[in-house]
Amino acid sequence: MAVHEIHHPLIHHKIGLMRERGISSKDFRELAGEVGNLLTYEATRELQTEDVETTAWNGQKIFIKKIKGKKITVVPILRAGLGMLDGVLRLIPNAKISVVGLYRDEETLQPVAYFDKVVKDASKRTALIVDPMLATGGTLIATIDLLKQKGCKQIMGLFLVAAPEGLQAVQDAHPDVEIYTAAIDEKLNESGYILPGLGDAGDKIFGTR
């Protein structure tokens, strides 16, 4: 598994704002979408293009570059992943969306799956998982297990903040998956929250804290 921690002044600035105590749901949600957008730009850097002939404005025949190869299905993990979805789709508006629902049991920290609706042609698409937080890694591992059962062969994940413990767990379980994150933080606390982290991203995005 390759882990890409994306260093960019805009990402550092926006993640910094998201860490501030007392941030409003509106601001947190907007920033989650914006960083999701910037991570998408980085994660799609390796997409292949092909030269396609077309007619230019003046009638001249020219070659333009078009994205080729496998199409994408974006996979937001409910709930918090929805906060990044708009930003991701702004760059890849034709992507199909496969929604999965998992929450982390507060006592055991184990993921509990409660919903999935994955596109039928998942085996022909690159899956781009989006979730703000990668903490113990349990939710991501369960999501990747599910996507592989549905036939996905190429899987990437976008996260605002990841913990080293979770990255290691995902690497051990699924070494073939590419992870893009805006920040790798220090550690998990005893309740499984990332430090310094963002707090509970889902509650902040939905205003349920």
Ligand X SMILES: O=c1cc[nH]c(=O)[nH]1
Residue list for the binding site for uracil = 194, 199-201
- Taking the least distance from each CB to ligand PRP, the nearer of 70 and 200 is 200
- Name the binding residues for 5-phospho-alpha-D-ribose 1-diphosphate: 79, 104, 131-139, 200
Under the binding rule (CB under 6 A), the answer on residue 205 touching ligand X is no
Nearest to 166 by CA among 144, 191, 139: 139
For ligand X, the binding residue among 133, 142, 152, 162 (CB under 6 A) is 133
Under the binding rule (CB under 6 A), the answer on residue 36 touching ligand X is no
CB count, 10 Å around CB of 75? 32
Whole-number Cα distances in Å, 15 to 10, 27, 47, 95: 9, 11, 26, 26
Q: Are 182 and 118 in contact (CB under 8 A)?
A: no
Give the C-alpha separation, 127 to 70, whole Å. 10
For Mg ion, the binding residue among 129, 163, 202, 205 (CB under 5 A) is 202
Under the binding rule (CB under 6 A), the answer on residue 116 touching ligand X is no
Under the binding rule (CB under 6 A), the answer on residue 29 touching ligand PRP is no
The listed partner (ligand X, Mg ion, ligand PRP, none) that binds 134, CB under 5 to 8 Å by sort, is ligand PRP
For ligand X, the binding residue among 32, 74, 102, 135 (CB under 6 A) is 135
Give the C-alpha separation, 190 to 28, whole Å. 25
Interaction mask 58-77, ligand PRP, x per CB under 6 A: -------------------x
Under the binding rule (CB under 6 A), the answer on residue 103 touching ligand PRP is yes
Give the C-alpha separation, 118 to 112, whole Å. 17
Q: Are 104 and 139 in contact (CB under 8 A)?
A: yes
Under the binding rule (CB under 6 A), the answer on residue 157 touching ligand X is no
Helix, strand counts (H, E) of the chain: 6, 13
CA-atom Rg of the chain in angstroms? 18
Under the binding rule (CB under 6 A), the answer on residue 89 touching ligand X is no
**Contact positions toward ligand PRP, by CB under 6 A?**
77-80, 103-104, 109, 111, 131-140, 166, 192, 200-202
Which chain residues interact with ligand X by CB under 6 A?
A: 133, 135, 192-194, 197, 200-202
